[in-house]
Structure 1
Amino acid sequence: MNVESKYIIRWGIPGWLIIIYYLLLDHAFSKQKVYYLDNPPPIEVIVALLTAVSFGLIVGYLLHQAYFAMEWIFGRGSQEVSLEIKQVLEGAGLHYGIEKEPERQYFYFEYLWQKSLANIQTSHKMEYLSARYRHLLTKTQELGVLRFSIIICLIITGYFILFENMLLLGICLFIILGILLLFVHKAHRYFTKNTHYFMAYNLRDLLREQKELNKH
């Protein structure tokens, strides 16, 4: 199975962040080190790096799945986007609220969006809208998973504060990670709203265009 490099980086960064953060704290403060880092044999360094890279990919991929589950299956993702798209369409006099459940409503809007893109006559416009939507969606997902990674780093910091006697540094790390988490959360909300309304306003325009074409 071939995996593109962009997916390796996308899945790897959240997992590598957690692993590197833990290993740095463990080497600095833990009484029992995970790795003996003073002049290790080269072969052990290579094996350790390959293991860390592979494990980071697995952790990152699992975090992506957890993000999807928390945001869409157990969260309010589908309800939020359905409401925002519905408001834009109904504000333009376009009524497509045939589904009652927010999740099914979102699936219907997604269907309309994909169908409207496929019906665009100009290939340049279709490619632009598709690429822009994909970019916004990817950034939203990346920031959501990064938020998960920072939360896990906060939990790791709490562990070292409680069991490895690093109260002062732990509090400083908590503050730094907390600020980073706030920034990432704000960026995630920005891209989430941007993605929703990009889809909503363009879907509105595409449906209007299709409606005008059907009149002629």
Structure 2
Amino acid sequence: MNFEAKHWIRWGIAGWVYLSAILAYFTVKDLKAASAFIFSYEVSTIVASATIFILAGIILGHLIHQVSIGLGFIIWTQQAKYFRSEYEIDKIIIKNHRGGEIQRIYSYRLGNLHALRALFTSLAMALTTVIFLAYAIQYSTAILVLLIILFVLFVIVFINYRYFYNNFNYFVANILIEFQSK
């Protein structure tokens, strides 16, 4: 299996967002301890923590990505319709002299769709986790602000996801119409 840097970053973003939300909760909960850690000047501890954060974010982000695919394609998408349109697009790409350009645009839009759905899933999980932590451990005005920020990000990502989803479907539908009429 070939892993490119763009995959590591795409998966990492979902994981890093989730971990950042949890880290933000515990930072808000105990600002003194967080400040003491950050300003401790123990470079090896900070570098090790950052490395663990980065690697854990990529692994967790990949798992979040898989969950988002499972929810997005297996549960909510009409598989037969999706597979049929993907097969038709693949035929067009293979048979057409403009196939490479169509494939580039198709891959770009589908990649954005996958990334936004993973980010949406990550934010949903982060919101759920922070709400649980606020209920189970500690709730404060600062944590309410964190929840509001997470919710606003959740809504923004959902709106962006819907835009890219509609844009992707419009592109696929028009490619199918254009090339089936020939």
Larger deviation, residues 18-27 vs 65-74: 18-27
| Structure 1 residues 26 and 109: CA distance shift in structure 2, 3 A | same
Greater relative contact order: 1 or 2 (C-alpha under 8 angstroms, separation 6 or more)?
Answer: 2
> Deviation digits for residues 123-174 of structure 1, max 9, x if unmatched?
xx32221111111111111111111121122123213422443332222222
Q: Tell me what 2:126 maps to.
A: 153
Larger deviation, residues 144-153 vs 38-47: 38-47
Q: Please, what TM-score do these two structures have when normalized by structure 1?
A: 0.74
2:151 maps to 1:178: yes
Larger deviation, residues 172-181 vs 56-65: 172-181
> Deviation digits for residues 67-90 of structure 1, max 9, x if unmatched?
110011122x2x2xxxxxxxxxxx
| Structure 1 residues 28 and 40: CA distance shift in structure 2, 3 A | farther
Contact 1:158 1:170 in 2 (8 A): no
Q: What stretches of structure 1 of length at least 5 have no aligned partner?
A: 80-102, 210-216
Q: Which aligned pairs between 1:47-86 and structure 2 lie closer than 5 A?
A: 47-75=48-76, 77=77, 79=78
2:28 maps to 1:28: yes
> Deviation digits for residues 183-215 of structure 1, max 9, x if unmatched?
211111111111112111111111222xxxxxx
| Whole-angstrom CA distance in 2 between matches of 1:183 and 1:27 | 24
Q: Which aligned pairs between 1:1-216 and structure 2 lie closer than 5 A?
A: 3-30=3-30, 37=37, 38-39=39-40, 41-75=42-76, 77=77, 79=78, 103-121=79-97, 125-209=98-182
Q: What stretches of structure 2 of length at least 5 have no aligned partner?
A: none
Q: Please, what TM-score do these two structures have when normalized by structure 2?
A: 0.87
| Structure 1 residues 105 and 165: CA distance shift in structure 2, 3 A | closer
**3-state SS of the aligned residue for 2:96?**
coil
Larger deviation, residues 190-199 vs 170-179: 170-179
| Structure holding more helix per residue | 2
Whose Rg is larger?
A: 1
| Structure 1 residues 63 and 34: CA distance shift in structure 2, 3 A | farther
Please give the root-mean-square deviation of Cα atoms over the aligned residues, in Å: 2.3
| Whole-angstrom CA distance in 1 between matches of 2:145 and 2:124 | 15
